[in-house]
């Protein structure tokens, strides 16, 4: 194309392209740039130069599109580009004003972006809108196809669809906010709107609902609505009379915190005849009370809780939740696993005295820094917390951020090396969408060949299995046993949060 055609920039602004290859660093393919330049009778090098400048503006970004419009992602590539459609024609007017483009330059830039998006989408998406190519390097691989699938099944706004699907790949609202460059409260409000939509529409509920009684919206372990449950107020564990009066005789869950230490000390469940009143109001409180003799300690965590307050001061407090489904033992224990797993995820450590831990034995005699010391001890004694990216697809090869083997029939179990300690999972392909899939069994074993042999005998040769070798386990027998229980809590808890049911053979 000659330089005699229309200018890209307004009068007085040079159309001269950059030194070197003008197409380097441009998010639009060269063939589209050249065909668009020919259509608008402008210099292709100049158009490429402008497109590079557009990339650096603050207008065409995920934060702009996902704040003021309702964009639908339709593709992505390995270079961190995200291709979206949005009714946002005015964005190009803002770009033209910022870069001082002519009307021809503005139209050519918009056309190039739209054609690139159309080329990537390949007719898979039926919606109107203008195409935008933006940088979003941390957008999860594979999420776009899920977004399109959900968008085709529901009437949710595309922005809510995108945020909901991202929540299936990353566990935290702050992580989603980082990906889309949006404030975290915006993400939280959009997820809350999705939850509300699932209560009002059968179609949305079938597609989007977090199965079961738990919710990801309230993830702070001390929240009164932690994981969507209705928790009681916090009671002083020394106030035995109040506990026996106020706690219900119902099956349920309970959590213990220290008044001066973040996070939780312990998470438990009770299906005893006297419910949480008996387990917490009698057994646990009797062991924690300052004047209680050791013979009154009927709860395994009570000694450690009492010793911590003896050294660190403060008080132990308890809060309970009794959702109706907790009368079912399998669900109640799976919810307990989910709470432990989420607590580990949110705080970076296992609750301080969970699994018979004795942090006070490793602490100093006392002092102003004992609380911080106890937290560091708890972190050191906890097995590594998985990344939870992704977490919703329980059969994914990188479920929870772990390096699982490819799923294969148990008839091919001999392909797995027998050395080391492994986590395993087995399932049958029963659903057409991967986030509806459930596992038959998850667990850990030190002899994987023998365990897979047993699983084949139990479930059949065509049942699918996948394993991951666990790294960094302690050589100490007792500590290693606790670490494997932490792994099982992570697996069962994440499965319950994702599917609303425990693995079939877990409890």
pLDDT single digits (tens) 113-146 = 999 999 998 876 666 789 999 999 999 888 898 8
Out of 214-223, 316-325, 444-453, least confident range: 214-223
pLDDT tier for residue 481 given thresholds of 50, 70 and 90: very high
Which of the two residues, 169 and 114, has the higher pLDDT score?
A: 114
Q: Give the pLDDT confidence score for residue 171 in this predicted structure.
A: 74
Of residues 426 and 417, more confidently modeled: 426
Q: Is the pLDDT of residue 82 over 50?
A: yes
Most confidently predicted of 18-27, 292-301, 371-380, 403-412: 403-412
- Residue 430's pLDDT is 73
Residue 198 has pLDDT above 70, yes or no: no
Of 153 and 384, the one with more pLDDT: 384
CB-based contacts of 445-451 (< 8 A; 24+ apart in sequence)? 445/421, 446/421, 447/418, 448/416, 448/418, 448/420, 448/422, 448/424, 449/413, 449/414, 449/416, 449/418, 451/422, 451/424
Reported as a pLDDT band with limits 50, 70 and 90, residue 228 is confident
* Ramachandran sector of residue 71 (left: φ over 0; alpha: ψ -120 to 50; beta: rest): beta
The CA-to-CA distance between both ends of the chain, in Å, stands at 72
CB 318, CB 255: distance < 8 Å: yes
d(CA 437, CA 243): 41
Q: What is the pLDDT of residues 403-415, one digit of tens each?
A: 999 999 999 999 9
pLDDT band at 212 (very low <50, low <70, confident <90, very high): low
**Average pLDDT rounded to a whole number, residues 312-341:** 95
Greater confidence (153 vs 463) lies with 463
pLDDT band at 24 (very low <50, low <70, confident <90, very high): confident
Q: In sequence order, which ranges of 223-366 are alpha helices (DSSP H)?
A: 240-246, 275-276, 285-288, 302-312, 329-347
Question: Which own/partner pairs from 15-19 qualify as long-range (CB within 8 Å, at least 24 positions apart)?
Answer: 15/43, 15/46, 16/46, 16/49, 17/43, 17/45, 17/46, 17/48, 17/49, 18/49, 18/52
Reply yes or no: is the peptide bond before residue 476 cis, omega within 30 of 0.
no
221 pLDDT higher than 60? yes
Cα–Cα distance for residue pair 66/63, rounded to 1 Å: 5
pLDDT confidence band for 361 (50 / 70 / 90): confident
Report for 110-124, 216-230, 432-446: range of highest mean pLDDT: 110-124
Region 42-69: mean pLDDT is: 88
What is the layout of strands, in order, in the sheet containing 235-236? 235-236, 316-321, 252-258, 261-270
Q: Given strand 441-445, what is the order of strands in its sheet?
A: 408-409, 464-469, 422-427, 441-445
Tell me, what's the pLDDT at 19?
54
- Residue 152: predicted pLDDT: 84
pLDDT at position 298, please?
72
Examine the pLDDT at 2 and tell me if it is beyond 50: no
Q: Give the SS3 label for residue 456.
A: helix
Q: Is the pLDDT of residue 32 over 50?
A: yes
pLDDT of residue 206: 44
C-alpha distances in Å from residue 437, one per residue of 128, 393, 430, 501, 503: 33, 7, 7, 11, 11
Model confidence at 376: pLDDT above 60: yes
Q: Of the candidates 129, 47, 139, which has an alpha carbon nearest to the alpha carbon of residue 89? A: 129
Please give the pLDDT value at position 48: 92
Higher per-residue pLDDT: 388 or 248: 248
Percent of the chain with pLDDT over 90: 63
In angstroms, the Cα distances linking 155 to 43, 121, 164, 202, 245 are 43, 20, 13, 11, 48
CB burial of 14-29 (b: ≥16 within 10 Å; e: otherwise) equals ebebbeeebbeebbbe
Report phi then psi at 252, rounded to 5.
Answer: 180, -165
Position 399 confidence tier, pLDDT thresholds 50, 70, 90 = very high
Average pLDDT over residues 380-401: 90
Which pLDDT does position 205 carry in this prediction? 45
User: What's residue 172's pLDDT?
Assistant: 82
Between 46-55, 207-216, 473-482, the lowest mean confidence (pLDDT) is in 207-216
**pLDDT on residue 486:** 98
């Amino acid at each position: 194309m000659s330089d005699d055609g229309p200018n890209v920039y307004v009068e007085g602004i040079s159309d001269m392209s950059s030194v070197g290859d003008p197409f380097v660093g441009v998010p639009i393919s060269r063939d589209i740039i050249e065909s668009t330049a020919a259509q608008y009778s402008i210099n292709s090098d100049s158009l490429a130069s402008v497109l590079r400048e557009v990339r650096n503006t603050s207008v065409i970004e995920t934060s702009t599109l996902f704040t003021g419009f309702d964009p639908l992602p339709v593709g992505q590539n390995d270079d961190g580009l995200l291709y979206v459609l949005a009714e946002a024609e005015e964005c190009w007017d803002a770009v033209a004003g910022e870069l001082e483009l002519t009307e021809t330059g503005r139209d050519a830039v918009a056309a190039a972006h739209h054609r690139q998006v159309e080329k990537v989408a390949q007719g898979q998406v039926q919606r109107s809108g203008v195409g935008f190519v933006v940088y979003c390097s941390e957008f999860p691989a594979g999420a776009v196809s899920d977004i399109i699938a959900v968008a085709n099944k529901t009437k949710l706004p595309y922005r809510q669809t995108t945020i909901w699907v991202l929540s299936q790949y990353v566990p935290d609202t702050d992580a989603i906010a980082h990906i889309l460059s949006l404030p975290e409260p915006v993400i939280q409000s959009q997820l809350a709107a999705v939850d509300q939509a699932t209560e009002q529409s059968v179609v949305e509920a079938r597609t989007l609902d977090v199965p079961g009684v738990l919710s990801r919206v309230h993830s702070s372990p001390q929240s009164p609505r932690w994981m969507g449950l209705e928790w009681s107020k916090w009671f002083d564990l020394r106030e035995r009379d109040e506990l026996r009066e106020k706690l219900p005789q119902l099956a349920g869950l309970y959590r213990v915190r220290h008044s001066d230490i973040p996070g939780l000390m312990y998470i438990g469940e009770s299906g005893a005849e006297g419910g949480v009143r008996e387990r917490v109001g009698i057994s646990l409180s009797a062991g924690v009370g300052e004047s209680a003799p050791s013979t009154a300690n009927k709860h395994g965590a009570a000694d450690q809780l009492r010793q911590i307050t003896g050294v660190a001061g403060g008080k132990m407090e308890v809060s309970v939740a009794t959702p109706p489904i907790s009368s079912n033992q399998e669900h109640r224990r799976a919810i307990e696993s989910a709470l432990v797993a989420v607590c580990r995820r949110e705080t970076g450590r296992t609750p301080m005295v969970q699994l018979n831990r004795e942090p006070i034995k490793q602490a100093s005699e006392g002092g102003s820094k004992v609380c911080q010391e106890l937290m560091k001890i708890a972190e050191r004694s906890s097995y590594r917390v998985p990344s939870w990216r992704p977490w919703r697809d329980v059969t994914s090869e990188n479920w929870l951020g772990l390096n699982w083997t490819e799923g294969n029939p148990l008839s091919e179990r001999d392909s797995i090396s027998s050395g080391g300690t492994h986590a395993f999972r087995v399932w049958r392909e029963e659903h057409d969408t991967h986030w509806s899939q459930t596992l038959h069994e998850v667990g850990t074993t030190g002899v994987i060949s023998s365990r897979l042999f047993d699983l084949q005998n139990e479930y059949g040769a065509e049942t699918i299995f996948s394993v991951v070798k666990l790294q960094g386990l302690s050589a100490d027998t007792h500590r290693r046993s606790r670490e494997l229980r932490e792994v099982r809590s992570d697996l069962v808890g994440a499965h319950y949060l994702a599917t609303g049911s425990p693995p079939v053979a877990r409890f």
